[in-house]
Amino acid sequence: MGRGRAKAKQTKVARELKYSSHHTDFDALQRELSGGQEDGHESSDRFDDSSDDEYDDYRR
């Protein structure tokens, strides 16, 4: 027992999510998914290709 209040709140939240109309900012979503870059390209400093790697000889 005691689950009635929790279930009622879950039902209320589910109805609000189902029937409410939320404005979706697709431009902000695109910026977030692309990592915040305006042009959509990954930054070159994300992958650091340093030439002073001590294991560089083994990789070749």
Which tens digits make up the pLDDT trace of 4-45? 999 999 999 999 988 887 788 899 989 999 986 555 455 555
Its pTM surpasses 0.75: no
Q: Which residue has the higher pLDDT, 2 or 45?
A: 2
**Residue 54 Cα distances to 5, 11, 51, angstroms:** 63, 59, 9
Token output for 10: 């879950």
Residue 48: pLDDT over 80: no
Cα gap 30→37, rounded to integer Å = 9
